[in-house]
């Protein structure tokens, strides 16, 4: 018998990696969002990041294999290191 992969657990790990990568991309804008002269631009940049990671989340949710999860994570700052 070969190795059996629990796809639900693999997806959960993928989502954890996605969340960590999103948090890293948000960091430069966290402080800027509190500065009135930079808040609008910072929030716009944060929205782009949110949309990017929402798409990755959908790809992970739809994945049927670990290779599909890895492919979805290639767009993150930590890459597909799963």
* Tens of pLDDT, residues 59-74: 999 999 999 999 999 9
Domain parsing of the chain, residue ranges: 7-73
In whole angstroms, how far apart are CA 19 and each of 2, 9, 25, 36, 56?
31, 15, 10, 27, 10
Q: Please, which pLDDT band fits residue 79 given cuts at 50, 70 and 90?
A: low
The half-sphere exposure of 67 on its side-chain side, counting CA atoms within 13 A, is: 0
Q: Model pTM greater than 0.85?
A: no
Residues 18-48: pLDDT tens digits? 999 999 999 999 999 899 999 999 999 999 9
Taking Cα atoms as reference points, which of 80, 67, 72, 45 lies closest to residue 56?
72
């Amino acid at each position: 018998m070969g190795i059996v992969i629990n796809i639900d657990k693999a997806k959960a790990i993928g989502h954890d990696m996605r969340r960590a990568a999103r948090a890293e991309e948000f960091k430069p804008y966290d402080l800027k969002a509190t500065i009135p002269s930079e808040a609008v631009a910072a929030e716009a940049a944060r929205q782009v990041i949110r949309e990017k990671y929402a798409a990755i989340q959908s790809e992970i949710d739809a994945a049927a294999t670990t290779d599909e999860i890895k492919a979805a994570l290639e767009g993150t700052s930590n890459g597909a290191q799963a």
